[in-house]
Structure formats: C-alpha cells, structure tokens
C-alpha cells in the first residue's frame, strides 16, 4: 500500500456509537435479567406451543429508518485503517436522511437515502472509494424502491464537488464497478460488515 | 569360506543382512577372542590381504569388519594399549569406510584417554577438509563422532582451543542437510559457550548466522520429523549463546526487520528476545536504545498484530533485564536511560490521546512499566504528572476519557507489579509511586464518575474501571476510601435512572462483585443496608422496582460471608410476608426465592458449612409451612400459588442434593407428609378427600423426590412390597387432574419413580401400566383424552431413557397413536414425541435419573424408518384416486412430520441426517398457521445439517434446487390464502440460506471459500438474489437484517456469475 495519508486519525469509542435500543422482550417477562438462568420460564410441554409470535407483534410494521441505514454502513472498514467508518466518524447518524423521492405523489413508495460522508482529512484521495463502498453496500442491501444519494459533506473535502460528480454519475459508477482491482478493495472493505 | 569373506560378500547388497551376519560372526570371533582361543592380533592379521588392497571399496569392507567386531566386544575387554593401537590405525585409515564408526566405538570405551581424543580430532580436522563433497550419510557419521567427542572428552577438545574451534567451523561450513545441521548447531553452541572465542568471534558468528533466517520446509512424509521450528530453535540458541556476539547479532537482527516477509521479521524478533534474555545486562544496556529506536516503528505502525505484540515483549524483556539487582531508583541507572526516550515518545503521542497512535503508546507504557517495580516507578514519575496537566486543559470529554484510559493502563500494570489485596506473598520492596498521587486520583476519578453528565456513559464507565483497579490494588487505598467508592456504586445502582443499555449499572454491579472478593466487610456494612432498605415490605402491585435490587444483591453475594447475610435478610423478609393477611402480589415472595436460588446455584453448596442451617430453614421449615397452608391454616395464599411452590421446590431440590445421606433419608420418609404430623396434614397418596390446594403439594414432593439419592428408595412411603399401588394411584390422579401445574407435577413424579427408583425386576409393573393405559382407548373412535396421552408419554420417557426391555414395543405403540382416525388424539400424540428425549429439569442427570447413552440412537433407528415409510404410504394413497376407499385422513401426514420434528429437535446431530432431507422438505411444504412450530423445528434441523455437512452433501442427494426453492418460499410475506409465514420463520429460512453460502465445504469454519470448481449453488444464484431483493423490503427489521446478511453471503461466497441484476 502506498504511504498512508492520515496515519493518526481520531477514533470514537465503539460503545459511544449510536445504536438502536430495543424495547427488550426480556423486560416484559417477569424474570428478564440474570435470573433466567436460574429459572427456565415455562416447562417445555404439550400446551406451550411457541406462542411468542403473537399476532399483534407480527402485524406491527417496522419501516426502514436512518438508524437502520447507519447500521448497514457503519461497519464498513476504512481502506486505509482496519477501523470501521463509524468509529472514524466518516459516517454519522445525523448525516443520514430518508425522504420520499416524489413528495408530490403521496402514494409513491419511492424513497431517497442521502448519506453525507466526512473524510478524515480534507485531501483524502480515498474519499471516492469510500463513497463507492457505501453506495455498493446500500445497493446490495436496500429494496429497489430506494434511490441512493451518497455525497461528500460540504466543506469537508478540498475537491468535494469533483468527487460528488463522480459518485452521482451512474455511468462512471457502473464503469468503476467493472474495475476488478477497485472491486477487490471494496469487497475487502465490506468483509467486516455484520 | 572365512567369516571375513562372508561378511565382505554380503555387506554391499544388504546392510541389514550384513549387520546380522557381522553380529553373528563377531559373536563367534568374540567368543574365540574372549576365551583367548584367538587374539585380536590374529583377527587383524587375517585382514591383512584386504586391508592393504588397492581398491578403496575392498579396504572399506575390511575396516567395517573390524569395526563390527570392536562394536560387539564388551567395553572392558580391550586394554589401553590395544585401544591406542587401534585408534592410531583407524586414524591413519580414517578415510576408509567404517573407520569413523570404529573410532566412535573406541572413544566410548572406558580406557580411551584424552590424548587419543586429541589425536582423533586432529585426524578428523586434517582429513575432512573436503567433507562437504561427501555423501550426507558420511558427513552425518563424522558429525556424530565429533558430537560424541564433545560430550565424552570435552576437556581434551577444549584444550585444543582454536584448533578445535576452527576445525569444527571449517568442516561444517557449507553444510545444508537439516539432520546434520541439528548436530552441527549443538556442537557449535558448546564451543561458543565454553571455549575462549575472543579471537574468532566473527568467524564463529558468521558460521551460524549464515543460516538465518531458516526457510527450510520439511518434505511431506519426512521420515526424520525435523521441523523448521526445531532448526530455528537450535540456531536461535547459538546466536543468543554468548554476549560476544552482541555487536554482530543485534544490528544484523534489527536489519532483518526491514524485510517484507512477516515470517522473517517474526524470527528476527524472537531471536532478539532470546538474545535479550541470554546476554548479560551490561550488553543489553549497550544496545537497548538502538533496539527501541527500531522496534518503535513496528509498534506505532503495526503491520501485523503479532509483530507489534512480539516487539512489545522485547521492550519489556529489556526493562526486566535492566532491572536485575536494582534496588534503588535513580536517574543514572541504565534502566532510566533506556526508559527516557520511551517515555518521551509516549508522552508526545499522548498529547492527543484520542487519536489512533495513542493506543500503541499506551501498550508500550503498559508493558515497560509492568516489567519491574523500579521500571514502574520510573515510568510513573515521567508520565503521570503531564497527564494531570493535560486533563485539566482538555477541551472535551473525549480527550479526558482517553487520558483516564491511559491511567487505567498504568493501574493495570501496578496490579501486575504490586498485586491485589488477595494476592499472597511477593511484596515489592519499593513503595508504590502511585501513592504520591492517591488523593488526586481519588478526586479525579470520583469527579469523573459522579460529576459527569449522566449521558456520558462510556466516560463514566472508564472512570469506574479505574477506581475499581485502584480499590483492588494491594496496600493502596484505605478502607474508608474504598468505602467511598462502594457508596458511589450504591448510589448509581439505587438512585440513578436507567440510561441506554445500562452499561454503567452493569459495570457497577461487576465492580461490587469484584470488591466483595477483596473487602467483603465493606459490602456487608455499606451496600447491604442500603439495598435492603429499598426492598418494600410487600409488593404494592406497581412496577416491581425490587427486581433490580434483588438482581444486584444476587450478583454480589457469592462470597460465603456475604451470602449468609443475604440469606438471613431475605429469609426474614419472606417470613414477614408469610405472616401477613394481605401480602400483595405473590411475585415478590417468589422473586425473593428466585434470588436465593440463583445465588445457591452459583455457589458450591456441598462445600458450604452452613448448608444444614439452610436445609432446616428452607426444606424442613418452609415445607411444613406449605403443608399447613394446604390444610387451610395460613394467613394468606402465598404458599398455595403454583409458581411459588415451583420456585421453592427448586430451592429444596438443590439443598436436598447438597446434604448428607442421613438427611436425605429423612427427606425420603417425609416426601409426602412434608415434615408434618398426620393430624396436621393428610399426605396425598391414597387419600379420598383431597382438595386442589392439598393436591398442589405434589409439586414440592416431586422436587424433594428428585433431590434424594437412589439409595434411599426403600425409605419412600408406600413402596412395600412394591410400587404398583403407588404408581397406579398417581396415574389415576394424573389422568383426572384439572389443574395444569398439579398435572405436570404428577407426570414428573410418576416418571421419576419409574425411571430412578423402580428396581430392575419391577420394571414390568410400569410396562403393564403402559399397556393398560393404551387399552383405555375408546374402541369406537379410537380416541384418548389429552391427559391420558400425556401420562402415556411421560411413562414412556421414563422407560425409554433407562432402555427398558420393552422400548421397541413402546415406540411402535406410540407411533400407532399418530394414525388414529381421531384428529385430536393424533395431533396430541405428535407433539408428545419432543418430550421423550427433551431436557427436563426434574428428570435430569443432575438429579440422578437413569439416562442411558444409547437411548438416543435407539429411538432414532427405531422411529425414523417407520415414520418415513408411513409418510410414503400416505403420499402414494393420496395420489392414487382409485384407492379412495383406503385414503387416510388428512391429519396423518402432518402428525408424522410433527413427530419427526420433535425427535430431531432433541437430537440435533443425529446420524445420516441428509437422508431425511425429502421428509424435511415436505415439512416445509406445510402452509398453515398451526404448522409454524413444525416448520421452525425443521429449519433448525436444516441449519444443523447444512453446518455439519456443507452444500456438497445436499448436492449429492440432488436437493439443492428443491431446498432453495422452498426456503425462498418461506421467506415471502405474500403467500397464498390461509398460508402463514411468521417473522421468525422468515428469518430462520434466511439464516439457512446464508448458511448455504457460507458452508459450502463440510465441517469447515464459517466463510470457508468454496473449493476450486463450480459451486453447486451457482445455478440458483440468480434466483436467490432476485427473490431476496424483494425480502429486503420485509416489514420486520430482523427479517430485513437476515436478508441483507444472506444476500451479502451469496454475493460474496458464490462465485463466477456475472452480476446480472445489479
């Protein structure tokens, strides 16, 4: 690998990254915490067919939200460091937005995901690769009714406009994805996705 | 033909044969010689004609003959003179084959002397200048002779000085064979250590260092079994053998760190560490800073984890060597000089402690400071004061947290150096330098922990961890200072609201538990009163706020003294509750019992000296209360509640298992009377007049029965002359019981008696009972009520687990129930199959149940073929319209599939699972809501099959396409009318799809790459990716997550298809 461009970036603590707080199912049952090991809840038997999938729960819809997008992309690793984009604050929750693509057509299911990327330093030549990685991850992981808009956050990169042009150009993105070496780098970045 | 001629004829063709003949001949000759019939001189003379032959081969053979005879002679036989003559002779002929072996035999003799050793060595050195041009075996023999001379006549060799030194180096130079090198390295090591090498340091060093790094790779099936590691080890011992090598070795090794190969770097580092450990401190000191300058880069710009780890080890080793014999701290110490540039560099890196490079700097400080007390003092003196300054000036909490983390690293090192309160012995002679900053630390960490904003969880957690380390550090804080920390923790747990994932509270509990090991009194004196005070008198029915308190108490009460306090406090709470007219919800007393149960499970109650006290209070005392309550003599209904009885039962069970046999016998006698007198309480069996409350005591009785040992069976009431009456009574009660909890207890009680206590000759009693229950079938509708079916299955479980003689008969009878025309009977029986091998808390190995190892296999081999053929029958009947008369009811096939799922779920790694694939696929074809459980069980089994066997096996059965299609169908939300795929089903199916892509090779670790060649999944890849794209829009988040993972796995793991749908 060529000389690192930013060998000493600031790193966020993984525990401080935004996560989804689940209304833990265990809280509802009588003995959630540590006592579950002491006391199996219901004896396994005829009557106790798995009723945990209650009808109400099943009908409740959970729409795709910003946190879900964040969870998809924050675990991508940086091509320079074996550290995740979340920990490097390259992607952050407030910089993700989901909006209807056609606000004038209320019934349209089309939605646009906007992700703003903050490179660790303003002259980072790998910003395009990172943007491309985020884009590929989203395209692989979101349903087809979503449109992706991945951009460099304004004022965080010296050639931000140039990079944005590349990321927004479908032809160029498609051409880049044909490039074996580039795809190798992106596949490596996404190995850490979980 | 003479012996000699025979030998010489054979020696060429067949070594083994020659050896045998030589031994035979030698034996004859020896007998002759030893009995003085012939002399050695005669033997040598008999060789005369060959020994001077022109042909070297012929000469060699003759010499071999002589050698063979010498080898066979007894070690005392030859006189000094004879040895001398022979040695001189062999030395003269040293180049002839066999002479080296002869010398080797001679040098081992008692009368071989120093002078001769020198002579032999001389002969070797002067005649084998061209050794490397000879064969490997010849070289091997020469080295062996040298090696033997080194070990048997070291003094003589050493006295030769430079002659032997240079001689050895000369003849080994150019050696390449690994076997030979093993010997050569060990010879050279002796010379390096014991000879005066001052004139030839470089020659000697080069002779071994030329081999560094070792790149040898043993050929497959290497008969000599020499590994690269063996060679590396020997070479490393040579390089690190003497400090004289340091000026050559250390720069050379550091140079090797420029290599691009991580393996070379690793070898260089480990050799460097060996040198540091072996050279004397002065030498190490001379190079210490040079080493640091080079290793710094390996750590700060870590390429590979193990390289920076090994580099850290080297730095620590230097600090340790330089600390040897140092008792006083001074800046003039070589150690101080070594540490100075290190701490300087680390201090610089720590200026921005939240940046990436701070981590390695912390690691460096951690390692060098933990090397010795003196080292720790020197590091703390230079590193801690600037941290305080930085902390005061820090512009953000992120930076402050990183600084606290740095301090935590030093505290950890302090624990390594000075020990914890519980550490025995090994007091350091030097005062802990952190003591100087004690109050500052206490303020700083206290402020960070309690003064920071409540949302700053990770900051506070860091502070908490630091405080905890200081509290466990030996001879550091005073009791009252640790007490302050304990109070902080109490406050966090009692007063603060939950934030996020409650990380801080979890850490606080863990910290209290840790302190309880070191300072149990503080927990009893401070934490207990504070926590117990928050426990209510009764549950006011609001929000169960006592639960977190009880959970905390449970986790910090594992230490013996603390547990006693916990028991006393909670037991008195419970006693008060039992006396109340209106005690509130039963959840509270039950929670108290669960708390006690949890802690007792964590501790080893059998070793607890107070176990008899607990036994008297809980087993005897509370059981009596249960009996009184059942007879209507209690103030409230707490002890009539089935959930309370269940928890109390588990507690009793654990205690009964932990007490002596005498006490257990006492329990056996009271298993039904519950320690009460007949006038107070009527035990259940055989009474006519029982009410529901009274019957419920069977729950306690069952747990007591489970706890006692098998040997107490004759003390159980109603078992004389045999158990038939008792069993029959229990069966009647079980079949007619209306209350589910009581019914469950009867079933298990019955199973316990039959499985654990029924003697071998009495098993027929239970088997007859089984048959009579089956015969109670309504003859017309062939139906049985569910309670009877359950009783039948539990009875079967008890018998099958002990592999009763009638096991096969039982299993076939149970299977017959599935084909009952009565839908209810068939469905209930189908669910019963999961009971047979299912884990149970009461009928368990812990409770001494008889569980034979082979019962699983027996069940499997008996039942699976029957189910399989029955389903086939039903399928054929279904397609064949003409046989409509024989068409079986629709419920029969699902019932069999349910039974199959039940068996598989309790036997996950059964034999030959792939052969079941067709059946499992049919289970996935079920669509309706009531088949969800079966399908979930099927998916679990499929996951196991895929993990254990990989795709290859499924492909060999030809089921990849059909499996994938069905899995994809199960992931869909939009199914036909009446069909249901619950979210759990959809997610499970997606997990199976993911496993397919990640487990293409059987048994390999997850994410193993497919073997070269086309993956059997390739034909379905496009179909999977297309279908999964739709699942990405599933309404449930968990399902979407599973779909993303599955899709990523297919994109990554199934190769060689164009990305057609992107």
Which is nearest to A62 in space by CA: B970, B1039, B986? B1039
Where b means 16+ CB within 10 Å and e means fewer, B45-81 reads: ebbeebbeeeeeebbbbbbbbbbbbbbbbeeeebeee
B1062: confidence class by pLDDT, cuts 50, 70, 90 = very low
Asked if B446 is an interface residue toward chain A (Cβ–Cβ < 8 A), one would say: no
C-beta separation of B353 from B399 below 8 A: yes
B944: confidence class by pLDDT, cuts 50, 70, 90 = confident
> CA of B415: how far to CAs of A157, B8, B385, in Å?
46, 74, 20
Q: What is the mean pLDDT of the segment spanning B492-511?
A: 88
Spatial distance between the Cα atoms of B692 and B741, rounded to a whole number of angstroms: 11
Spatial distance between the Cα atoms of B20 and B999, rounded to a whole number of angstroms: 57
Q: Give the residue with greater pLDDT, B1055 vs B282.
A: B282
- Interchain pair B355, A10: CB under 8 A: yes
Spatial distance between the Cα atoms of B991 and B989, rounded to a whole number of angstroms: 5
Spatial distance between the Cα atoms of B158 and A14, rounded to a whole number of angstroms: 63
pLDDT for B656 beyond 70: yes
pLDDT for the residue A58: 66
Q: Environment class of residue B430 by beta-carbon count within 10 Å: exposed (0-12), middle (13-18) or buried (19+)?
A: middle
Domain assignment of residue A138, yes or no: yes
**Strands laid side by side in the A96-100 sheet:** A96-100, A111-117, A146-152
pLDDT for B209 beyond 80: yes
Hey, which residues 6-25 in chain A have their CB within 8 Å of chain B?
7-13, 15-16, 19, 21
A26: chain B residues, CB-CB within 8 Å = none
Could you tell me the two tokens for B87?
């040695």
B360-374, B757-771, B988-1002: segment of lowest average pLDDT = B988-1002
A63: chain B residues, CB-CB within 8 Å = 1035
Place of tokens 């005829």: A46
Q: Give the residue with greater pLDDT, B67 vs B847.
A: B847
- Interchain pair B982, A58: CB under 8 A: yes
pLDDT for B682 beyond 60: yes
Q: Measured between CA atoms, how close is B871 to chain A, in angstroms?
A: 23
pLDDT for B886 beyond 60: no
Of A15, A38, A40, the CB nearest to B601: A38
Asked if A2 is an interface residue toward chain B (Cβ–Cβ < 8 A), one would say: no
Q: What is the mean pLDDT of the segment spanning B449-461?
A: 91
Alpha helices in B324-426 (DSSP H): 334-349, 358-369, 373-393, 397-418
Residue A100's DSSP bridge partners are A111
Q: What is the mean pLDDT of the segment spanning B871-889?
A: 69
pLDDT for A121 beyond 50: yes
Q: Other C-beta atoms within 10 Å of B136: how many? A: 12
For residue A186, what is the domain's CATH number? 3.30.300.130
Domain assignment of residue A8, yes or no: no
Looking at every residue in chain A, the average pLDDT score rounds to: 80
Parent domain of A99:
64-190
pLDDT for the residue B226: 85
pLDDT for B699 beyond 70: yes
**Considering chain B, what percentage of its residues have pLDDT values greater than 90?**
54
- Interchain pair B594, A31: CB under 8 A: yes
pLDDT for A146 beyond 50: yes
- Interchain pair A139, B828: CB under 8 A: no
pLDDT for the residue B89: 84
Q: What is the pLDDT of residues B472-484, one digit of tens each?
A: 999 999 999 999 9
What ranges make up the beta strands (E) of B184-293?
Answer: none
pLDDT for A116 beyond 90: yes
Strands A111-117 and A96-100: antiparallel
Spatial distance between the Cα atoms of B1012 and B1020, rounded to a whole number of angstroms: 18
C-beta separation of B462 from B400 below 8 A: no
Hey, which residues 771-810 in chain B have their CB within 8 Å of chain A?
786, 790
**Considering chain A, what percentage of its residues have pLDDT values greater than 90?**
31
Spatial distance between the Cα atoms of B428 and B121, rounded to a whole number of angstroms: 53
> CA of B811: how far to CAs of B157, B861, B938, in Å?
82, 11, 22
Whole-model pTM above 0.95? no
Length of chain B: 1062
pLDDT for B308 beyond 50: yes
What ranges make up the beta strands (E) of B570-626?
Answer: none
Of A16, A46, A141, the CB nearest to B790: A46
Interface test with B, best of A29, A34, A148, A174 (most B CBs within 10 A): A34
Give the ipTM of the model, two decimals please.
Answer: 0.89
| Residue B152, phi then psi, degrees to nearest 5 | -90, -25
Q: What is the mean pLDDT of the segment spanning B1030-1058?
A: 86
Hey, which residues 128-147 in chain A have their CB within 8 Å of chain B?
139-145
Contacts of B301 (CB under 8 A, 6+ apart): A7
Domain assignment of residue A40, yes or no: no
In three-state form (DSSP H/G/I as H, E/B as E, the rest C), the secondary structure along B986-1026 is: HHHHHHHHHHHHHCCCCCCCCCCCCCCCCCCCHHHHHHHHH
Spatial distance between the Cα atoms of B729 and B34, rounded to a whole number of angstroms: 94
Spatial distance between the Cα atoms of B1053 and B999, rounded to a whole number of angstroms: 9
Looking at every residue in chain B, the average pLDDT score rounds to: 88
> CA of A162: how far to CAs of A122, A154, A157, A168, B245, in Å?
13, 12, 10, 10, 59
A71-85, B380-394, B495-509, B910-924: segment of lowest average pLDDT = B910-924
C-beta separation of B454 from B499 below 8 A: yes
- Interchain pair B355, A64: CB under 8 A: no
Q: What is the mean pLDDT of the segment spanning A64-76?
A: 93
Strands A146-152 and A111-117: parallel
pLDDT for the residue B295: 94
Q: What is the mean pLDDT of the segment spanning B709-732?
A: 92
Alpha helices in B257-356 (DSSP H): 262-278, 281-300, 305-323, 334-349
A77-86, B144-153, B986-995: segment of lowest average pLDDT = A77-86
| Residue B107, phi then psi, degrees to nearest 5 | -65, -15
pLDDT for B390 beyond 90: yes
Contacts of B246 (CB under 8 A, 6+ apart): B275, B279, B283, B286, B287
Asked if A162 is an interface residue toward chain B (Cβ–Cβ < 8 A), one would say: no
B1007: confidence class by pLDDT, cuts 50, 70, 90 = very low
pLDDT for the residue A2: 46
Hey, which residues 154-193 in chain B have their CB within 8 Å of chain A?
none
pLDDT for the residue B194: 92
Asked if A31 is an interface residue toward chain B (Cβ–Cβ < 8 A), one would say: yes
Q: What is the pLDDT of residues B153-199, one digit of tens each?
A: 898 889 988 889 999 999 899 888 899 999 999 999 999 999 998 88
B1016: confidence class by pLDDT, cuts 50, 70, 90 = confident
Q: What is the pLDDT of residues B73-95, one digit of tens each?
A: 777 777 888 888 888 888 888 87
pLDDT for A79 beyond 60: yes
Q: What is the largest CA-CA distance in chain A?
A: 67
The upper half-sphere exposure of residue B365, i.e. CA atoms within 13 Å in the direction of its Cβ, equals 31
Domain assignment of residue A112, yes or no: yes
How many angstroms separate the first and last alpha carbons of chain A?
Answer: 26
Spatial distance between the Cα atoms of B471 and B895, rounded to a whole number of angstroms: 62
Three-class DSSP category at B827:
helix
- Per the omega criterion (within 30 degrees of 0), is the bond before B213 cis? yes
Where b means 16+ CB within 10 Å and e means fewer, B440-460 reads: ebbebbbebbeebeeebbbbb
Spatial distance between the Cα atoms of A95 and A154, rounded to a whole number of angstroms: 11
pLDDT for B414 beyond 90: yes
pLDDT for B426 beyond 80: no
Q: What is the pLDDT of residues A9-44, one digit of tens each?
A: 777 877 778 887 665 443 334 455 677 766 654 444
Cα three-residue angle B905-B908-B914, rounded to 5 degrees: 105
Q: What is the mean pLDDT of the segment spanning B403-423?
A: 94
pLDDT for the residue B434: 95
Indicate the number of domains in chain A: 1
Spatial distance between the Cα atoms of B338 and B34, rounded to a whole number of angstroms: 70
> CA of B661: how far to CAs of A19, B75, B80, in Å?
54, 68, 77
Domain assignment of residue A4, yes or no: no
Which is nearest to B446 in space by CA: B438, B541, B1005? B438
């Amino acid at each position: 690998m060529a000389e690192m461009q930013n060998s000493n970036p600031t790193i966020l603590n993984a525990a401080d990254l935004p996560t989804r707080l689940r209304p833990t199912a265990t809280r509802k049952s009588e003995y959630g915490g540590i006592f579950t090991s002491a006391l199996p809840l219901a004896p396994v038997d005829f009557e106790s067919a798995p009723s945990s999938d209650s009808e109400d729960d099943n009908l409740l819809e959970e729409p795709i939200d910003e946190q879900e997008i964040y969870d998809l992309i924050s675990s991508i690793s940086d091509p320079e460091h074996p550290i995740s984009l979340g920990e490097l604050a390259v992607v952050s929750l407030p910089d993700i937005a989901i909006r209807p693509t056609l606000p004038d057509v209320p019934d349209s299911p089309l939605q646009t995901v906007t992700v703003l990327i903050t490179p660790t330093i303003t002259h980072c030549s790998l910003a395009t690769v990172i943007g491309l990685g985020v884009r590929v991850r989203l395209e692989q992981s979101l349903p087809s009714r979503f449109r992706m808009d991945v951009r460099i956050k304004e004022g965080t990169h010296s050639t931000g406009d140039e990079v944005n042009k590349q990321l927004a150009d479908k032809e160029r993105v498609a051409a880049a994805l044909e490039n074996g070496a580039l795809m190798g780098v992106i596949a490596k970045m996404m190995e850490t996705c979980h | 033909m003479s012996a000699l001629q025979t030998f010489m004829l054979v020696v060429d063709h067949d070594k083994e044969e020659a050896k045998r003949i030589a031994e035979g001949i030698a034996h004859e000759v020896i007998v002759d010689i030893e009995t003085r019939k012939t002399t050695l001189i005669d033997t040598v003379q008999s060789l005369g004609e060959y020994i001077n032959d022109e042909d070297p081969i012929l000469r060699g053979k003759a010499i071999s003959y002589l050698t063979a005879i010498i080898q066979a002679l007894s070690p005392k036989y030859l006189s000094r003179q004879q040895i001398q003559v022979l040695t001189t002779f062999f030395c003269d002929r040293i180049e002839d084959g066999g002479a080296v072996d002869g010398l080797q035999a001679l040098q081992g003799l008692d009368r071989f002397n120093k002078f001769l050793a020198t002579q032999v060595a001389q002969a070797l050195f002067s005649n084998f200048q061209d050794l490397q041009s000879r064969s490997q075996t010849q070289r091997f023999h020469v080295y062996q002779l040298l090696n033997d001379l080194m070990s048997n006549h070291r003094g003589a060799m050493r006295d030769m000085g430079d002659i032997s030194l240079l001689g050895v180096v000369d003849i080994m130079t150019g050696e390449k064979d690994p076997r030979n090198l093993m010997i050569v390295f060990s010879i050279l090591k002796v010379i390096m250590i014991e000879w005066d090498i001052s004139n030839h340091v470089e020659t000697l060093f080069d002779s071994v260092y030329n081999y560094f790094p070792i790149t040898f790779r043993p050929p497959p099936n290497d008969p000599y079994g020499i590994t690269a590691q063996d060679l590396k080890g020997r070479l490393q011992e040579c390089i690190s053998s003497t400090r004289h090598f340091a000026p050559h070795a250390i720069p050379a090794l550091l140079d090797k760190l420029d290599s691009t190969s991580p393996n070379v770097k690793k070898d260089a580092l480990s050799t460097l560490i060996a040198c540091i450990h072996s050279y004397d401190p002065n030498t190490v000191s001379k190079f210490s800073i040079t080493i640091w300058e080079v290793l710094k880069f390996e750590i700060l710009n870590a390429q590979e984890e193990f390289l920076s780890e090994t580099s850290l080890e080297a730095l620590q080793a230097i600090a340790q060597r330089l600390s040897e014999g140092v008792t006083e701290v001074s800046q003039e110490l070589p150690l101080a000089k070594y540490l100075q540039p290190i701490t300087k560099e680390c201090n610089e890196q720590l200026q921005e402690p939240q940046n990436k490079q701070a981590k390695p700097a912390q690691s460096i400080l951690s390692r060098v400071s933990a090397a010795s007390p003196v080292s720790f003092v020197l590091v703390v003196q230079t590193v801690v004061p600037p941290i305080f300054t930085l902390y005061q000036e820090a512009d953000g909490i992120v930076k402050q947290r990183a600084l606290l983390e740095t301090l935590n690293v030093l505290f950890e090192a302090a624990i390594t150096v000075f020990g914890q309160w519980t550490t025995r012995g090994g007091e350091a002679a030097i005062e802990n330098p952190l003591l100087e900053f004690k109050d500052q630390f206490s303020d700083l960490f206290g402020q960070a922990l309690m003064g920071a904003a409540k949302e700053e969880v990770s900051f506070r957690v860091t502070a908490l961890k630091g405080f905890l380390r200081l509290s466990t550090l030996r001879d550091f804080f005073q009791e009252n200072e640790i007490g302050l920390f304990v109070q902080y923790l109490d406050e966090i747990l009692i007063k603060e609201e939950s934030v996020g994932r409650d990380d801080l509270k979890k850490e606080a509990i863990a910290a209290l538990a840790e302190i309880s090991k070191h300072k149990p009194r503080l927990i009893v004196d401070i934490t207990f009163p504070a926590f117990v005070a928050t426990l209510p008198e009764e549950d006011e029915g609001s929000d169960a706020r006592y639960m977190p308190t009880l959970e905390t108490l449970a986790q910090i009460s594992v230490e013996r003294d603390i547990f006693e306090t916990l028991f006393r406090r909670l037991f008195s709470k419970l006693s008060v509750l039992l006396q109340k007219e209106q005690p509130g919800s039963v959840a509270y007393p039950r929670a108290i019992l669960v708390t006690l149960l949890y802690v007792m499970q964590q501790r080893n109650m059998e070793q607890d000296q107070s176990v008899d006290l607990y036994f008297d209070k809980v087993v005897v005392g509370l059981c009596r209360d249960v009996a009184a309550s059942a007879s209507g003599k209690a103030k409230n209904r707490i002890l009539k509640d089935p959930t309370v009885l269940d928890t109390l039962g588990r507690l009793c069970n654990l205690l009964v298992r932990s007490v002596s046999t005498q006490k257990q016998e006492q329990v056996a006698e009271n298993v039904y009377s519950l320690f009460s007198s007949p006038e107070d309480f009527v035990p259940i069996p055989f009474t006519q007049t029982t009410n529901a409350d009274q019957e419920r005591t069977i729950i306690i009785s069952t747990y007591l029965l489970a706890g006692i040992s098998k040997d107490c069976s004759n003390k159980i009431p109603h078992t004389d002359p045999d158990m038939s009456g008792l069993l029959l009574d229990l069966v009647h009660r079980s079949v007619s019981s209306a209350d589910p909890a009581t019914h469950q207890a009867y079933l298990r009680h019955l199973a316990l008696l039959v499985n654990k206590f029924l003697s071998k000759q009495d098993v027929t009693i239970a088997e007859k009972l089984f048959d009579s229950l089956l015969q109670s079938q309504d003859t017309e509708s062939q139906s049985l009520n569910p309670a009877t079916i359950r009783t039948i299955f539990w009875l079967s479980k008890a018998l099958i687990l002990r592999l009763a003689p009638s096991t096969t008969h039982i299993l076939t009878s149970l299977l017959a129930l599935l084909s009952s025309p009565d839908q209810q009977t068939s469905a209930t029986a189908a669910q019963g199959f999961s009971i047979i091998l299912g884990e149970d808390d009461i009928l368990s190995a812990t409770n001494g149940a008889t569980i034979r190892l082979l019962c699983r296999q027996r069940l499997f081999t008996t039942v699976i073929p029957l189910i399989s053929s029955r389903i086939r029958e039903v399928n054929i009947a279904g397609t064949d319209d003409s046989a409509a008369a024989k068409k079986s009811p629709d419920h029969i096939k699902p019932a069999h599939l349910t039974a199959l799922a039940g068996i598989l779920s309790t036997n996950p790694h059964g034999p030959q699972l792939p052969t079941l694939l067709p059946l499992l696929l049919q289970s996935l074809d079920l669509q309706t809501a009531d088949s969800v459980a079966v399908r979930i069980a099927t998916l679990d089994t499929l996951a196991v099959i895929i993990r254990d066997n990989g795709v290859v096996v499924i492909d060999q059965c030809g089921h990849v396409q059909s499996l994938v299609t069905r899995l994809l169908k199960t992931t869909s939300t939009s199914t036909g009318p009446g069909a249901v795929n619950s979210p759990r089903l959809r997610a499970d199916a997606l997990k199976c799809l993911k496993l397919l892509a990640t487990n293409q090779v059987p048994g390999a670790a997850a994410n193993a790459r497919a073997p070269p060649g086309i993956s059997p999944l390739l034909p379905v890849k496009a179909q999977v990716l297309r279908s999964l794209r739709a699942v990405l829009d599933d309404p449930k988040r968990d399902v979407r997550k599973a779909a993303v993972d599955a899709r990523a796995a297919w994109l990554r793991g199934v190769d060689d298809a164009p990305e057609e749908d992107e």
